[in-house]
Structures are given as structure tokens and as C-alpha cells.
Structure 1
Amino acid sequence: MPNRPTAARSMATKVLAASAAAGLVLAVVGSFLSWFRSGSVNRSSYQLVGLIDRFDLTGNPVVLLALRVWIVVPLLAATAIAMLVLGLTRTGAALTVVLAIFVGTAAGFAAVQGGDEGGPIGVTPLGPVTTTIGTLVAVIGALGAVAVSLRPRGHDGQAQQNRGVS
């Protein structure tokens, strides 16, 4: 007969890891939605990164590195999801949290910038808000999965003894 608290902990870890993976999927989907409007053209975050790079709009090496990393966000998210699915919870969660902080910060910054709806250029909220929500879900799921997986085993045994289960 399986140890119920251990099985419950395993199930909770899987559910939380799945929510982290779902959050990453939502964040990546949001990164492909409209982030920027110029005239009647809406652009995704990747098109915006391409424009910044093409027109050499920044000379800051940190920003240039962030732009290079942004291009591989879907690949990094897929890697984190694969780790979570394969049961590498702590490693997958660590990558999820780092990626979500990076992506969520950029998306949150863009979301709060807003834009002049009547102006010729501006930020469109759909992509940044979707991405921000996805990263928040991913971080909560990842941290929850790690917390549940790190819960001391003795705690489960103590709970069994308190309920009179042997």
C-alpha cells in the first residue's frame, strides 16, 4: 500500500510543476502577441527586439545581452518545461524562476508604460500583460513545487501518527 502523505506530496509537486509549466507556456504565448504599435502595425516582442537591434538603438552592453537572450526565451522555457515534466523539479523550477524574473520584469515594465491610444506609436497591453500573468503563475508554481518537494519526510510521518495511522 503506498504511503498516502508521500503520494499526496508527489501529486502536489506534479500539480505545482504543471502550473509552472502552464505559466511558462502563457508567458511565451504572450511574447508573440502584440507588444508595440507603430501606426496601424502591431509588433510582437521579438519584432521589437529585432527593430532595436537593427537600428542600433542602444549602446548599453547589458541591454544588448538582454536582447540576445530574449530571442531564446521560447527555447529556455521549453527546456524548463521538459525538466519539470521529467521530474527534475528543483532544476526546472530554478530555471523557471530565473527566466520568469527576466521575462516578467521586461513584460511588467512594458505593461505599465502603456501608450497614447491616439498617438502614432505606443505599447499595446495584450502581450505584456499576458506575459506578466504567465510569469507570475510560473513563479508561484515553481516555488510551490520546490517547497512541497523539500518538505521533510518526518513531517508526513508525524501527521500519520497524529491521526492514529500506522
Structure 2
Amino acid sequence: MATKVLAASAAAGLVLAVVGSFLSWFRSGSVNRSSYQVVGLIDRFDLTDNTFVVLALRVWIVVPLLAAAAIALLVLGATRTGAAVTVVLAIFVGTAAGFAAVQGGDDGGPIGVTPAGPVTTTIGTLVAVIGALGAVVTAAAGRRQVQTNRGVS
């Protein structure tokens, strides 16, 4: 039972992280932009030639799809696989969101970071990681308990 509750909290954390990725992340003038709009602008204006950054931007676009896949794995009972995907995705997304959240913005300046999206996404990824790791630990403890009850060492 605890494994299912923790897997559900991991899934809820991923949902919160994805919702946060669609909220406002940056402001330019009076226009607020989501993380996906910013990624599109960086790509459109070719603002980076760093291969790692370009790859990260490409992966960012499929974050909702990857989150849905992780949630499906957790729901279908593939706890370890779902948790592994959840943790990897949450580290990637949470790191980007955390960096954006701590940058803050100059409220008086023409360009800035808006905290709604990055903070929501960061909280979601933290919940997802805690839930995923907890689900794996409780699932492993449950397997050990079943083996002990059967007399298997």
C-alpha cells in the first residue's frame, strides 16, 4: 500500500513539474513566456552553439511526454523502471528550474525571470524524486518481507 501511495506522489510531482513548465518563466517587457516559448526563441535565434545546451533544449520539448511515460510505468506497476525515469527526468528538469528560480529578476528591468513557473516546477520535481525513491525502497522492503515469510533467505 505504501509503495502505491509513494508512486502516486511521484506521479503527482511530475504532473506539478509539467504544469510549472507551462507557467510563466521569463518576462520581456510586458510579455510573459513559458519555458517552451523561451526554448523556441533560443532555437529560432540560434543563441547557443554549445552542443550540450542544444541537446538539453531538444530534450526539454519532450518533457511532458517523458513525464507521461514515467507516470504510465508507475501506474502499471513497473515501480523500479518508473522511478528511475522519474528521478532522471526530475534531476534534469529540476536543475534547470532551480537555476531559473534562484536567478530572480530585476522587477524594474525590461527582462527578468518570473518565479511562478520555475518554483512550481522545482517543487514538483522534489516531490517526484522523494516519492519515486520512497516507492523503490518500500517495494524492496515488501519483497524482502514476502521472502522472509515464505522462508526464503
Q: Same fold (TM over 0.5)?
A: yes
Determine the structure 1 residue equivalent to 2:145. 153
Q: 2:86 aligns with which of 96, 113, 135?
A: 96
4+ runs deviating over 3 angstroms: 154-157
For the residues of structure 1 that align with 2:26 and 2:65, how far apart are their CA atoms?
A: 23
RMSD: 1.1
For the residues of structure 2 that align with 1:156 and 1:117, how far apart are their CA atoms?
A: 60
Q: Report the structure number with the largest CA radius of gyration.
A: 1
2:112 alignment partner, SS class: strand
For the residues of structure 2 that align with 1:109 and 1:115, how far apart are their CA atoms?
A: 12
* Residues 1:76 and 2:63 aligned together: no
1:87 alignment partner, SS class: coil
Q: Which amino acid aligns with 1:143?
A: L
For the residues of structure 1 that align with 2:99 and 2:140, how far apart are their CA atoms?
A: 33
For the residues of structure 1 that align with 2:77 and 2:122, how far apart are their CA atoms?
A: 25
Pairs aligned (count): 147
TM norm structure 1:
0.87
Q: Which amino acid aligns with 1:47?
A: Q
In structure 1, the gaps of 5 or more residues are: 1-10, 158-166
TM norm structure 2:
0.94
In structure 2, the gaps of 5 or more residues are: none
* Residues 1:67 and 2:57 aligned together: yes
Q: 2:40 aligns with which of 50, 62, 71?
A: 50
Q: Which amino acid aligns with 1:121?
A: I
Identity of aligned residues (%): 85
